[in-house]
């Protein structure tokens, strides 16, 4: 969709040798042990044909919470509704009560006076959040049971959310865990919350998303272990089969997740900017200003090829791989956006440190 914890310090073990005739000392450093990647489970949920994955949050600031955020590879930044985590007396219809200075702290959350909006979607369908830049540590439950705490994460704390018709939406319905590279278009202080995580010695800052399990998309939600891995090994980056795509800088968003390539469908081949987006829940959008707009017929074969040689082919059906052709002059978006269906067939990797996205057929 558009829009740290401290590094573990290995102690040196000093061995003191005392001889009767000498005060000579020697020390031997403990061997450096590389850190291990951390695995995290995600929820897979489907509702009325829309499928999403959610990442659980168990603590924000000093408060224990139980929120599930939309895990979104297509946007950058953590956004969360203030309802339930900020005292109601501090929230008005026009913003937060910051009575003195340029910030206020409540429940371990620092809310600044920097206001803005965060928008998702395009000219045909969108939501807009109104809020402030804020900072807080967050904790994500992990499979080891201790949880992963990321300190002082910049986030967008919103007090109001509306659709394109200015209709108010339910509290927390727009909570987004945007893990895209670069920074938010709303505020350059906001980046992916995972980019603030320090994976430890021997690992590169980034994440892998395993292929999603189609059968686990249920109306009640299914918790699937091991879908997300934090911390990339050398093998992940060099020898595990991912085709790596260096990212380009765009202003004002920094490194962009868009990958140049081509799309072939219905006998047509077009150049495209490709976005692989877990936050698009049902319909892939091919932007083609030369074609008639509308949904592709069933049994249409679509082939995507990136500029680095990654290729993915799928066939549309009446329930899966739904695909529409749109005109960017209508949507206001030049990118062709591949929905969550892509992630059922392919693995996805983001290397924050090296500014790369990796794609892998499965």
3-state secondary structure 165-203: CCCECCCCCCCEEEECCCECCCCCCCECHHHHCCCCCCC
Q: Which pLDDT belongs to residue 126?
A: 87
Q: What is the DSSP letter of 194?
A: G
Q: What is the mean pLDDT of residues 102-131?
A: 92
Give yes or no for residue 147 having a pLDDT over 50.
yes
What are residue 128's DSSP bridge partners? 119, 162
For residue 297, how many other CB atoms are within 10 A of its CB? 10
Closest among 292, 283, 291, 287 to 274, alpha carbons compared: 287
**What confidence category does residue 146 fall into, taking pLDDT thresholds of 50, 70 and 90?**
confident
pLDDT tens-digit readout, 35-89: 999 999 999 999 999 999 999 999 999 999 999 999 999 999 999 999 999 999 9
The pLDDT score that the predictor gives to residue 6 is 29
Here the tokens at position 170 are 């339910």
What percent helix, strand, coil does the chain show, rounded to 5?
5, 50, 45
pLDDT of residue 12: 22
pTM value? 0.89
3-state secondary structure at position 266:
coil
DSSP 279: T
CA-to-CA distance for 17 and 73, rounded, in angstroms?
55
The string of DSSP codes covering 145-170 is: SS-EEEEEEEEEEEEEEEETT--B--
Beta strand 268-276 with 204-209 is unpaired
Of 79, 162, 156, nearest to 115 by C-alpha is 156
- Whether 38-216 shares its CATH topology with 241-361 is answered yes
Token couple for 122: 């395009």
Token output for 327: 């005109």
Long-range contacts of 165-173 (CB under 8 A, 24+ apart): 169/127, 171/81, 171/83, 171/84, 172/67, 172/80, 172/81, 172/83, 172/84, 173/81
Distances 235 to 24, 166, 356 between C-alpha atoms, Å: 44, 48, 15
Domain ranges within the chain, ordered by starting residue: 38-216, 241-361
Q: Give the pLDDT confidence score for residue 125 in this predicted structure.
A: 82
| Residue 239: other Cβ atoms inside 10 A | 9
- Residue of 257, 250, 112 whose CA lies nearest to 180: 257
Domain 241-361, CATH homologous superfamily name and number? Acid Proteases (2.40.70.10)
Q: Is the peptide bond before 104 cis (omega within 30 degrees of 0)?
A: no
pLDDT at 23: 37
* Multiple choice CATH, 38-216, 2.40.70.10, 2.40.30.10, 1.10.10.350, 1.50.10.150: 2.40.70.10
Proportion of the chain above pLDDT 70, given as a percent:
91
Which pLDDT value is given to residue 99? 84
- What average pLDDT does range 264-287 have in this prediction? 96
DSSP H or E run through 342? helix 342-345
Token pair recorded at residue 150: 């990321």
Residue for token pair 């003191």: 16
Nearest to 329 by CA among 124, 164, 119: 124
pLDDT per residue as tens digits for the range 334-355 = 999 999 999 999 999 999 999 9
Query: Mean of the pLDDT values across residues 143-161?
Result: 93
Answer whether 352's CB lies under 8 Å from 206's CB: yes
Query: pLDDT at residue 248 above 80?
Result: yes
CB 60 within 8 A of CB 108: yes
């Amino acid at each position: 969709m558009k829009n740290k914890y401290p590094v573990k310090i290995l102690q040196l073990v000093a061995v003191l040798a005392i001889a009767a005739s000498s005060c000579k000392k020697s020390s031997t450093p403990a061997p450096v042990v590389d850190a291990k990647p951390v695995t995290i489970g995600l929820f897979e949920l489907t509702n009325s044909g829309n499928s999403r994955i959610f990442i659980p949050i168990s603590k924000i600031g000093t408060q224990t919470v139980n929120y599930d955020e939309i895990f979104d590879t297509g946007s950058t930044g953590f956004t969360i509704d203030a309802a339930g985590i900020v005292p109601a007396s501090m929230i008005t219809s026009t913003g937060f009560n910051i009575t003195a200075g340029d910030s206020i702290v409540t429940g371990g959350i620092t809310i600044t006076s920097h206001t803005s909006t965060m928008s998702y979607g395009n000219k045909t369908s969108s939501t807009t959040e109104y809020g402030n830049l804020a900072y807080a540590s967050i904790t994500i439950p992990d499979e080891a049971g201790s949880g992963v705490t990321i300190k002082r994460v910049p986030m967008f704390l919103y007090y109001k959310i509306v659709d394109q018709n200015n209709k108010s939406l339910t509290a927390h319905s727009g909570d987004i865990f945007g893990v895209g590279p670069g920074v938010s278009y709303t505020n350059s202080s906001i980046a992916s919350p995972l980019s603030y995580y320090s994976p430890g010695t021997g690992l590169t800052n980034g994440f892998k998303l395993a292929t999603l399990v189609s059968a686990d998309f249920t109306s009640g939600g299914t918790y699937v272990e091991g879908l997300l891995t934090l911390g990339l090994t050398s093998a992940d980056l060099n020898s595990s089969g991912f085709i790596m795509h260096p990212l380009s800088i765009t202003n004002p968003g920094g490194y962009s997740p868009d990958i140049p390539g081509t799309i072939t469908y219905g006998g047509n081949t077009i150049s495209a900017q490709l976005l692989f987006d877990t936050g698009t829940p049902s319909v892939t959008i091919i932007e083609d200003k030369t074609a008639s707009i509308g949904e592709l017929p069933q049994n249409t074969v679509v082939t995507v090829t990136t500029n680095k040689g990654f290729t993915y082919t799928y066939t549309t059906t009446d329930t899966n791989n739904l695909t529409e052709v749109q005109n960017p002059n209508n949507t206001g978006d030049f990118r062709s956006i591949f929905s969550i269906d892509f992630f059922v067939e392919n693995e996805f990797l983001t290397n924050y440190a090296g500014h790369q996205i990796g794609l892998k057929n499965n």
